[in-house]
């Protein structure tokens, strides 16, 4: 794929011509009339001051806007490196991410990732944060890191999948007891036929480790939800239509029972060093129509600076 400067990209996008990728992008600009809801799922931005990320995130936002989503869902890890760094040192990363956030033109519903936990194990000698989620909530204007909402007949649930455990791993994927109680209560108000979309950073289901390390391999606790069966069981009497998940930086779609699980690739690809395991820097455009889920992974055209 040719490499575009930001100016070239914006000029090309304005004209809706040029490369085959841009033609593909143009095709996505008009939402078909029979589609109930179009959403963009983007994840793992890993905003940083290096490797051209400040330009890339604006390019990604521009590309997301051209797909004309009704709503935008974030999968976490908006900044890079918060877990092991101080709040102060993360401000430039937040500023870069927020430039992308402000540039997107649809309501945004974010889930938190491990990199968005700031000052958990700072390696610069600073005092650990008492509340590692505080900067995230303040920056994104959230009173809580998990919540639900309804739109166009769909029930959306956004979960905080991060459980800080210390030690070498630092964290694992798990819902705390307060959130489990909340989730049970939330579902008790939802009809069994209502289609539900769940978003969380740590995957509830993935084949990545089976595919890359052998089918008998399990996943490390800091890569997936260790309580995935418990969580999925809560939805046994409900219509869990779609699960959106991040963290792994690969584009993957799994259909299990009547649920589609989408692992959302990454805006940063391989941490701004190019594609990762065949997944380019990109995001998903997902069209929902009743219980039908149609998806497309969009490469927004960024090529890593080498
Ligand atoms: Fe992550």
pLDDT tens for each residue of 70-115: 999 999 999 999 999 999 999 999 999 999 999 999 999 999 999 9
Q: Is 278 helix (H, G, I), strand (E, B) or coil?
A: coil
CB-based burial label for 177 (10 Å; 0-12, 13-18, 19+): exposed
Whether 69 maps to a domain, the answer reads yes
| Burial call 60-88: b when 16+ CB within 10 Å, e when fewer | bbbbbbbbebbbbbbbbbbbbbbbbbbbe
Residue 234: predicted pLDDT: 98
Query: What are the Cα distances from residue 86, in Å, to 69, 93, 113, 119, 132?
Result: 35, 12, 16, 5, 10
Please tell me the distance between residue 5's alpha carbon and the centre of ligand 1 in angstroms.
28
Whether 30 maps to a domain, the answer reads yes
* pLDDT digit string, tens, across residues 239-289: 999 999 999 999 999 999 999 999 999 999 999 999 999 999 999 999 999
CB-based burial label for 192 (10 Å; 0-12, 13-18, 19+): exposed
Whether 4 maps to a domain, the answer reads no
Could you give the number of structural domains in the chain?
A: 1
Please tell me the distance between residue 202's alpha carbon and the centre of ligand 1 in angstroms.
7
Please tell me the distance between residue 249's alpha carbon and the centre of ligand 1 in angstroms.
8
Q: Is the pLDDT of residue 14 over 70?
A: no
Please tell me the distance between residue 208's alpha carbon and the centre of ligand 1 in angstroms.
15
Total-model pTM: 0.90
**CA dist., res. 7 & res. 230, Å (int):** 49
Q: Is the pLDDT of residue 136 over 70?
A: yes
Q: Is the pLDDT of residue 32 over 80?
A: no
Q: Is the pLDDT of residue 151 over 70?
A: yes
Please tell me the distance between residue 84's alpha carbon and the centre of ligand 1 in angstroms.
13
Whether 136 maps to a domain, the answer reads yes
Please tell me the distance between residue 154's alpha carbon and the centre of ligand 1 in angstroms.
26
Please tell me the distance between residue 95's alpha carbon and the centre of ligand 1 in angstroms.
19
**CA dist., res. 49 & res. 68, Å (int):** 29
Please tell me the distance between residue 135's alpha carbon and the centre of ligand 1 in angstroms.
17
Whether 3 maps to a domain, the answer reads no
Please tell me the distance between residue 31's alpha carbon and the centre of ligand 1 in angstroms.
31
Its domain, for residue 234, covers 25-299
* pLDDT digit string, tens, across residues 160-217: 999 999 998 999 999 999 999 999 999 999 999 999 999 999 999 999 999 999 999 9
Please tell me the distance between residue 32's alpha carbon and the centre of ligand 1 in angstroms.
33
Q: Is the pLDDT of residue 16 over 50?
A: no
Please tell me the distance between residue 8's alpha carbon and the centre of ligand 1 in angstroms.
31
Whether 5 maps to a domain, the answer reads no
Radius of gyration for the alpha carbons in the chain, expressed in angstroms and rounded: 19
Work out the pLDDT band at 124, boundaries 50, 70, 90.
confident
Structure tokens at 219: 């996943």
Whether 13 maps to a domain, the answer reads no
Question: From the CB of residue 31, how many other CB atoms can be counted at a distance below 10 Å?
Answer: 16
**CA dist., res. 42 & res. 161, Å (int):** 17
Pairing, β 195-200 against β 239-245: parallel
Please tell me the distance between residue 245's alpha carbon and the centre of ligand 1 in angstroms.
10
Query: What are the Cα distances from residue 92, in Å, to 63, 66, 244?
Result: 23, 27, 28
Query: What are the Cα distances from residue 197, in Å, to 205, 240, 286?
Result: 15, 7, 11
Please tell me the distance between residue 114's alpha carbon and the centre of ligand 1 in angstroms.
5
Work out the pLDDT band at 306, boundaries 50, 70, 90.
confident
Phi, psi of 156 (to 5 degrees): -105, 130
Whether 16 maps to a domain, the answer reads no
* pLDDT digit string, tens, across residues 48-70: 999 999 999 999 999 999 999 99
Please tell me the distance between residue 20's alpha carbon and the centre of ligand 1 in angstroms.
31
Least confident of 23-32, 38-47, 82-91, 124-133: 23-32
Q: Is the pLDDT of residue 116 over 90?
A: yes
Q: Is the pLDDT of residue 233 over 50?
A: yes
Residue 28: predicted pLDDT: 61
**CA dist., res. 41 & res. 60, Å (int):** 12
- Residue 223 belongs to domain with CATH number: 3.60.21.10
Q: Is the pLDDT of residue 303 over 90?
A: yes
């Amino acid at each position: 794929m040719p490499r575009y400067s930001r100016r070239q990209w914006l000029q090309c996008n304005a004209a809706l011509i040029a490369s085959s990728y841009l033609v593909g992008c143009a095709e996505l600009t008009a939402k078909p009339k029979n589609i109930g809801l179009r959403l963009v799922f983007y994840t793992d931005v890993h905003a940083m001051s290096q490797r051209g990320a400040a330009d890339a995130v604006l390019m990604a936002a521009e590309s997301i806007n051209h797909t004309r989503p009704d709503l935008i869902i974030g999968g976490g890890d908006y900044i890079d490196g918060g877990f092991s760094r101080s709040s102060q040192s993360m401000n430039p990363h937040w500023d870069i991410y927020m430039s992308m956030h402000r540039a997107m033109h649809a309501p945004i519903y974010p889930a938190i990732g491990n990199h968005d936990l700031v000052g958990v194990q700072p390696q610069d000698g600073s005092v650990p944060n008492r509340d590692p989620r505080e900067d995230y909530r303040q920056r994104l204007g959230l009173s809580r890191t998990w919540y639900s909402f309804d739109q166009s007949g769909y029930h959306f649930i956004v979960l905080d999948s991060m459980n800080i455990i210390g030690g070498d791993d630092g964290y694992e994927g798990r819902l705390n007891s307060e959130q489990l109680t909340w989730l049970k209560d939330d579902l008790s108000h939802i009809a069994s036929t209502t289609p539900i979309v769940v978003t969380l950073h740590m995957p509830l289901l993935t084949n990545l480790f089976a595919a890359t390390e052998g089918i008998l391999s399990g996943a490390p606790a800091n890569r997936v939800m260790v309580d995935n069966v418990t969580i999925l069981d809560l939805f046994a009497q409900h219509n869990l239509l779609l699960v959106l998940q991040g963290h792994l930086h690969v584009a993957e779609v799994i259909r299990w029972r009547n649920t589609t699980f989408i692992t959302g690739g990454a805006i940063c690809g391989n941490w701004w060093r190019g594609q990762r395991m065949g997944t380019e820097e990109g995001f998903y455009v997902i069209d929902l129509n009743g219980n039908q889920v149609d998806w497309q992974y969009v490469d927004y055209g960024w090529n890593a600076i080498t």
